[in-house]
Amino acid sequence: MKRLVALGFVLALMAAAAAAGYGQQTLGPPVLDMRQLYQVVGYIYDLDPDLLAAIATAESNNNPQAVSPKGAQGLMQLMPDTARRYRVDHPFDPVENVLGAARFLAGLRAWSRLQAPYGEVDLPAVIAAYNAGTGAVEKYRGIPPYEETQAYVRKVLWLYLLGQPPPHRLNPMQTSGHATYEASPPRLPASAAERRAAAAAPPKPQSRSIFDQLAEIRRGRERAKAKETAERAELHINN
């Protein structure tokens, strides 16, 4: 409830600030503070604002009016079925579009935890599912071998973790929006017995891919940030 109240309050402030800016300028409509929007929506759905910003850049190059050849719409390139499922009535409204994408990502995060033996979130798999759908990720037990999806995951991770697009030789194909099969809703494992069996099975040896390495960089940054926050809190209490 507090998160919803915060959303309404901050969005009201954003609207008021935009209206004030509009009154001072006559050359065009007010400009929405996208960074602030990502921060608010990230707080509501417990998502990193940097991840939302990275997806917006990868999906539409930050264009709220973008439409892909496959029909994906808006800033976060939501397919029409996905937009309806996540209550986005106006997909070209950046606020509604980001809110819908955040609901979608929150659902994918929950789905990822259900797939993992210990409830961890597989960030590359979540990003892949945003593009190709959960069914494809489950089928291939990870990032599907689709050129578009692999390039998309790579681009989002570079933007999210390093703050820049990948080198030219790693750039994804010139496509935007999700694959047409993206709209399938998150699917749970067949049974609890399967999850217990997966937890009991020894891990399969795997070589560390670029996705694993980038995800580990992000986890390291988050651990360092959490440690710094805890130390500051402890220092404040002691003083």
Retrieve residue 115's tokens: 């797939």
Is position 231 annotated as part of the catalytic site?
A: no
Q: Tell me the three state secondary structure of residue 78.
A: strand
**CA torsion through residues 49, 51, 54, 59, sign:** negative
Kindly report the number of other CB atoms within 10 A of residue 114's CB atom: 12
Task: Single out the catalytic residue among 59, 96, 138, 182.
Answer: 59
Specify the length of the chain in residues: 239
Residue type, 199: A
Contacting residues for 31 by C-beta, under 8 A, at least 6 apart: 18, 21
- What is d(CA 75, CA 62) in angstroms, rounded to the nearest whole number? 6
- What is d(CA 11, CA 40) in angstroms, rounded to the nearest whole number? 8
- Residues known to be catalytic: 59
